[in-house]
Structure 1
Amino acid sequence: MRLLTTLTLLAGLLTGMPSQAENIALVGGRLIDGTAERPLHNSVILVKDGIIEQVGTVESLPVPAGYRVVSTEGHDVLPGLWESHAHIMLTGHANYTHWQKAYRDRQVDEIMPASLVQLLLAGITSVRDLGFDAMDTLRAATYWPAVMMGVQDSYGSVTPGKVADIIAVRGNVLKYMNLVRDVDMVMKDGVIFKHNGVVDEALLSDFGKR
């Protein structure tokens, strides 16, 4: 499961980027740092090797030699933005079925890097990508809900000692996830309610009375 993609990893995707960040002083802006109650006017932010080294004001923090001064006067300076729910394999398209069919072979090498570039240039410096592969999708619908409910000792997987809640789907769900829409066999508590697409109506009637 892809949980977090920090956009600093773009260095591995884009050519020509320096291998080490230079020392930079951001000078003059109003800093809203995400923690303080009041903004800091005439701020100075010293960045060394990609890490914030010191924060102060024009009056209190002189810029050391060897730092490139970048003026932020007239700007509000903020922490980099986060995107907490992204799907970087999609770019400006709402029809998932069409997108997956038309662009599947281009997602990794073209679309995902392009999405990261778009996010970066919009000020989004960290991304939580919620795209799953097929196995993670299945685990998200079976095992992890049981863990979240605290019943993983009895439910959520097909292992000895667990309650026999089992389904069967005809075909390869790891390749065609939409096959899960048409479950062929359903077993609940060891009782088969549906098999080969045929429902046992008598059992189902009793089940509804539980």
Structure 2
Amino acid sequence: MKHLTIGLLSAFALLHSCSAAAEKIALVGGRLIDGTASLPLKNSVVLINDGKVESVGQVDTLEVPEGYRVISTEGHDVLPGLWENHAHLQLTGHANYPHWQANYRDRFVSEIMPAALVQLLLAGVTSVRDLGAPLDDTIAMKQQLADGSLPGPHLYASGPFIQWQVDDWQSSYRWAVQSKAEAIKRIDQLADAGMDIVKLIDHDDMPRELVETIVQHAHKRNLKVVAHAHKPNEIRIGVEVGVDNFEHTGLTTAPGYPEDVLAALRERTATGIFDGLLFWTPTVEGLYTYEEAIKNHEYLDDSCWHRGLKDDTIADIQASLAAPGQLSYKQLVPLRQPTLKRKIEQLRETGVVMLVGTDVGIPMKFHCQTTWHEMAVWVDEMGFSPMETIRAATYWPAVMMGVEDQYGSITEGKVADIIAVRGDVLKYINLLQRVDFVMKEGVVYKENGRVNEVILPAQLRQ
């Protein structure tokens, strides 16, 4: 199969950036893991035309038509683009949140959020849910992604958190809501601004009728509702009022979830097929591997997270992480870590549908690395199979967001968001740390492990 030289690749990328819709591509030879419940397809052929999957077949049965550029995927697993279901684009690993908000707030749109988006994309993440950022900044990112001036994943965003009380230093990305009228006003503001999600936290501090108003009005405006699950009452109330998706594993050092909480989850998941689905994003890896990271934090020196960031930003982040074992944010983690496996087991037993998400952006967690970290912990430590982990990062997030007719699998008519990895990801899931091929909407951003730098804005190149 033919491979482009670096010079030809750059020339193609320059042309491609101006006429992406005209490009016809055939991915030929790899094993296709399409995101559905189908068995992997050996010697696959995927035809892409005008940014969508035109046909799927095998080398012996589907001929590549004339005019298609052939990209060999021999020796690779071909998968749908990954979803990162719990990201913070305004954060990028710094250990001091008040310092970050005070010193980088005016850089979010120009530097921080674009860097996060392109790092995710080049790591194979073609869809992301950003759960908590200033509204104007999020609007700006959505506009830049839509007009093509900024490369990045499809962005599903919440804008600011909704909660009962907010500290002054957090007020740019968290909204205090304390009345029904204010709740309706804020939900309408989010919906009118093009947000996709309402993020609800500490809702056990709110009057019950206020929580109901938030969830009901969000659903009326076609917004999904995600909620923190740090406390038992957050879960109890969230289940009762119809929250769509819980975030985090929660309950600090408690050995497990109370039985009445588990019973409520089981009842909620038994109410139907898709109408009864309840989603859960456990964000478990950052907790589970923290003690290992203290022993070996060489990954913090990986320059992949420098892409798009200014030198002084990089130096400030590095200084904040100089002593990983002393981070105040993480001091309770060693006591929480032994409880995590049992909590994951309990959640799986209730029938909730798990989604891969990482809380990326929090201290020590970088957008270029974290999604595959989470997937590896699911498989290697938490008892998930590689296939269900892949589907939790591809198919099920699209179902949760109501876009499974366009995204989440490599099937005819879907948007061509596709990645490829050299080797067997069903045996070695951590191969996802080096995604060799990244395509979003038919545009190739990485091929043969090389980034198509020329189609990136200058400040996002390396």
Question: Shorter-chain-normalised TM-score: which range?
Answer: 0.5 to 0.7
**Relative contact order higher in (CA < 8 Å, ≥ 6 apart):** 2
Which residue identity is paired with 2:79? L
Give the root-mean-square deviation of aligned CA atoms.
Answer: 2.9
Matched, 1:43 2:101: no
| Displacement of 1:19 | 4.2
- How far apart are residue 37 of structure 1 and its match? 3.2
Q: What's the CA shift string for 1:81-121, capped at 9, x where partnerless?
A: 00001011112223211111121111111111111110000
The aligned residue for residue 128 of structure 2 is 127
Aligned amino acid, residue 116 of structure 1? L
% same residue: 62
Are the structure 2 counterparts of residues 131 and 73 from structure 1 closer, same or farther at C-alpha, using a change threshold of 3 Å? same
Q: 1:150 to 1:89 in 2, by over 3 A?
A: same
Give the aligned partner of residue 71 of structure 2.
Answer: 70
In structure 2, give the amino acid aligned to 1:36: A
Q: CA deviation at 1:43?
A: 0.3
Q: Which runs of 5+ in 1 are unaligned?
A: 1-15, 157-210
Q: Which of the pair has more CA radius of gyration?
A: 1
Which residue is 1:151 aligned to? 209
Shift of 1:137: 4.2
Greater shift, 93-102 or 26-35, is seen at 93-102
Letter in 2 for 1:82: W
Q: Distance in 1 between matches of 2:212 and 2:132?
A: 28
Over 3 Å counting, the alpha-carbon distance change for 1:56 and 1:117 in structure 2 is same
> Greater helix percent: which structure?
2
Q: Distance in 1 between matches of 2:43 and 2:212?
A: 60
Q: In 2, distance between residues paired with 1:154 and 1:26?
A: 48
Q: Where does residue 85 of structure 1 map in the other structure?
A: 86
Structure 1 distance, partners of 2:207, 2:64, is 54
Other-structure match for 1:117: 118
In the other structure, the counterpart of 2:8 is none
CA contact (8 A) 2:88 2:131 kept: yes
Point out 4+ residue stretches in structure 1 off by more than 2 angstroms. 16-21, 132-146, 148-156
- Structure 1's 149 and 59: CA in aligned 2 closer, same or farther, altered over 3 A? farther
* Residue of structure 2 equivalent to 1:99: 100
Relative to its length, the structure with more strand (as a share) is 1
Return the TM-score normalized by structure 2. Answer: 0.28
Alpha-carbon offset, residue 140 of structure 1: 4.0
Distance 1:63 1:149 in 2: 61
- Helix, strand or coil: the match of 2:83? strand
- Say if 2:88 and 2:133, in contact at 8 Å, map to a contact too: no
Q: Which runs of 5+ in 2 are unaligned?
A: 1-15, 137-158, 165-176, 178-182, 184-199, 215-462
The question of whether the paired residues in 1 share the 8 Å contact of 2:90 and 2:133 is answered with: no
Q: Counterpart of 1:34 in 2: which secondary structure?
A: coil
5 Å-filtered alignment, 1:4-23, equals 17-21=17-21, 22-23=23-24
Residues 1:98 and 1:35: Cα distance change in structure 2 (over 3 Å): same
Give aligned pairs, total: 140
> What residue number does 2:193 align with?
none
What is the 5 A alignment of 1:19-34? Answer: 19-21=19-21, 22-34=23-35
C-alpha change, 1:65 and 1:85, in structure 2 (3 Å) is same
The answer to whether the 8 Å contact 2:132/2:161 transfers is: no
CA gap 1:57/1:36 in 2 versus in 1, 3 angstroms = farther
Q: CA deviation at 1:36?
A: 3.3
